[in-house]
Amino acid sequence: MTAPIQTWLVEPLQRDVAVALERLAASDDVRRIAVMPDVHLAEDVCIGTVVATERMLYPAAVGGDIGCGVAALRLECDADMLRDETAAAWLLARLYEHVPALQHAVARAPELPMAIGDDVLSDPRLERIKRREGRLEFGTLGRGNHFLEFQRDDEGSAWLMVHSGSRALGQAIRDHHLRDAPRSTTGLAYLDGGSERGRAYLHDVEWALRYADVSRRAMAERVAALIDERFGTNADWASFVSCHHNHVRRETHDGTSWWVHRKGAIPAALGEPGIIPGSMGSPSFHVEGRGHEPALASSSHGAGRALSRSEARRAISRRDLFRQLEGVLFDRRRAEQLRDEAPRAYKDIRAVMRAQRDLTRIVRTVHPVLSYKGT
């Protein structure tokens, strides 16, 4: 049997995306698929896909950056204070030091918080990676579309948004559990959720989710301290929200218990808070879920790429980047490396939000003031 596929789209599916979805729908034990409006091609399983199974776990339907997600925090200062170029230069210089893209200097690497440091992963090799890379990369952004952004809401208040994940640990967990895993009739590797091996994967996934969540919180805390140092203002920690968009967990939908895999999609149960970022030059949205069961109570995790990185680098020049980011502060010295992250490389976030109006309700719109990306 082929699982039903339901879609919420901005545009018709590209042929390679449709082929990948058809393969997924024909895979063993796949019962339902929901396709988000930010869907785009990725290895094995497309980003922007939600998959429900009864028994089998598909690590490719979670991806390597397990626990990747977004956090938001309101800063008790006027966003216009951040537009000052002197203040922006000061912030950028300290962000490179306190929130590096790749890893901390060995001498400055933090100890892992007890909640994740003391929880043992399922294999000694993963434990060794945790003790080294886990420390060096804790509280770091990562490359690609990961970012830290200062934003302005419609009332003029400043917000912080952080997009990061489990870094090297998530990829190591995925690769470890895929090693010698059986394959479905379509060639996708799987684990039995009720087996010892499946339970080990689920334990490690849960650990990676906590690592990513605590790491985002640590970055927000460092930035809040910098804002206090520069402007003498606090952060409103009651406003803090963090959500994952790469995970698998047991959920009940339409009276049936399933393993729900989300790869580039956030959970959107009724009233559940979420964050949907746009590009570095477009608005982002704080949302509440509508609990839409046909979509497995999910929504998009962002705008989704319109151009691959290689296509963007061919199509978008430095001049184009500067024009598309007019009014947004960023490190202009890194313009060459940021061309594949230009706004035009992404879908129109407002069109994405219109396509999923049955899935989420917009609570707040925030606009970029200063964008900091790892390159």
Q: Degrees (nearest 5) of the Cα angle 197, 20, 164?
A: 65
Helices 167-178, 196-231: crossing angle, 10 deg rounding: 170
The strand pairing partners of 160, in sequence order, are 73, 150
Contact 41, 304 (CB under 8 A): no
Give me the phi and psi of 302, to 5 degrees please: 175, -155
What is the maximal distance between C-alpha atoms in the chain? 61
Active-site residue list: 301
* Element at 231 (helix H, strand E): helix 196-231
DSSP for residue 108: G
Burial of residue 12 (CB within 10 Å: 0-12, 13-18, 19+) is exposed
Buried b (16+ CB within 10 A) or exposed e, 221-247: ebbbebbeeebeeebeeebbbbbbbbb
